[in-house]
Amino acid sequence: MSTKKKILVFTDWYEPGFKAGGPIQSCRNFVAAMGDPFELAILTSDRDLGDLQPYPGVVTNEWTRTKDGHARIWYSATEKLTPATIRRLTDLVAPDYIYLNSLYSYRFTLIPLWLKFRGKLSGNVVIAPRGMLHAGALQFKSAKKKFFIKVLNAMGLPRKLVFHATDEQERKDIARYFPTAQKIAVLPNFPKMEAVEWKPLSKRPGELRCVFISRLAPKKNLLFLLTLLKQFPKDNILRLTLRGDIEDRNYWEKCLAAIDELPSHISVSYEGPVPNEAVMSVLQQHHLFVLPTLGENFGHAIFEAFLAGLPVLISDKTPWRELQQKKTGIDLPLESTAFDHGLRNFAAMDQETYNEWSGAAFEYAKTIQRDGSLKEAYKKNLFS
């Protein structure tokens, strides 16, 4: 019999899903890292974000193993995931810890918390808001989110939970919205551990190939970038590739209208969402990763850009700061003039200068990967 302590992870989506972006990456990397010191089980849905059909070839409504073998996993049909089912499956796992990979999910956060409130679930509860308390996230569907926060506080649950913040800003957000929270542990997400070879791309001054990989939603601020490109110098050629799931159709229509207004030396192509296993290949076909986001608690695509040898041009609303000093990218306030100058700087780079920045980004990612202290920090601060 295993003597390892058990963690049951609740998450709306897991591999082979990829459309939900960061939360899937956060959970996958967590499982890969913590599957050794702990016995892991995952309870998730049987389909990707926005899909009406289950994943093809995935066994549903019974325990199987994840593809990497690090955990047991239960892919549940939505209609079958009732409070009674959640309680039954939790009792079968008998977890020492329950890890909630979301804040506002009805089935994968609210129901487990309600059952815990009623004394129906065993195990200490750790909850990861995943940036959902950030000002950039709360401005969308704010009434629903604030109602959830109000209910959670009224139940008195925050004082009984361990909150997982991924940076100091998220710690402040948690303390603000859950003032009775007794424990907030600040630990960054686990990075992607894929082994990658550095392959610098050919770069000529006046040419720039950019890539935007994220959900197409207002929070990611794509429309800001597209509007900015109207003023890009005519003696430059810029190509922008968009990869991500269309989460907000109305917002996407505005983006399409902005694309139609761009001058001929700017080309934009939308190529749909990109599966996790193809992200690195897509990144390595471009010079620069661009994300003027309104807020990220980690930004897995940003880290993967570094790993692919891409410098980044991002907002200052992420944990990735002071990048210019490292020559790994530029993090800027959301002002059009600042972002415009950032784009022009990268466009002007020659091969030698670009190689210096590309190599610095790659080495930065490898340094983060080599840091072995994070697993012990998780064990000490979240699961002990």
**pLDDT in single tens digits along all 384 residues of the chain:** 568 999 999 999 999 999 888 889 889 999 999 988 899 999 999 999 989 999 999 999 999 999 889 999 999 988 889 999 999 999 999 999 999 998 888 899 999 999 998 889 888 999 999 877 877 667 667 787 888 898 889 888 899 999 999 989 899 999 999 999 999 999 999 998 888 899 889 999 999 999 999 999 999 999 999 999 998 999 999 999 999 999 899 999 999 999 999 999 999 999 999 998 899 999 999 999 999 999 888 899 999 999 999 999 999 999 999 999 999 999 999 887 889 999 999 999 999 999 999 999 999 999 999 988 999 999 999 998
Contacts for 348 with CB less than 8 Å, ≥ 6 apart:
205, 206
Q: What is the DSSP pairing of strand 63-65 with strand 71-76?
A: antiparallel
Q: How much is the pLDDT for 195?
A: 83
Phi–psi pair at 278, nearest 5 degrees: -105, -5
Start-to-end CA span in the chain (Å): 21
Beta strands 237-243 and 266-270 are parallel
Distant-in-sequence, close-in-space partners of 1: CB < 8 Å, separation ≥ 6: none
Quick one: pLDDT at residue 44? Answer: 97
Q: Token pair for residue 355?
A: 């190689």
Q: What angle do CA 142, 160, 99 make, to 5 degrees?
A: 70
Phi and psi (nearest 5°) for 213?
A: -120, 105
pLDDT computed for residue 285 by the predictor: 96
CA angle centred on 21, ends 171 and 232, rounded to 5°: 95
Cα–Cα distances (Å) from 98 to 32, 91, 111, 113, 350, in that order, read 17, 12, 13, 10, 51
Query: Other CB atoms closer than 10 Å to residue 99's CB: what's the count?
Result: 27
- Which tokens hold the place of 285? 């076909």
Q: What is the reported pTM?
A: 0.87
Q: How far apart are CA 250 and CA 307, in angstroms?
A: 33
Answer whether 317's CB lies under 8 Å from 207's CB: no
Q: What is the pLDDT of residue 140?
A: 66
The domains of the chain, with CATH numbers, are 6-190 (3.40.50.2000), 207-369 (3.40.50.2000)
Q: Left, alpha or beta for 44 (phi > 0: left; psi -120 to 50: alpha)?
A: beta
Q: Are 31 and 306 in contact (CB under 8 A)?
A: no
pLDDT, residue 2, reads 65
Secondary structure element (H or E) that encloses residue 344, with its range: helix 336-348
Structure tokens at 25: 């990456």
pLDDT at 68 (0 to 100): 86
The pLDDT score that the predictor gives to residue 136 is 67
- Cα 341 off chain centre by: 27
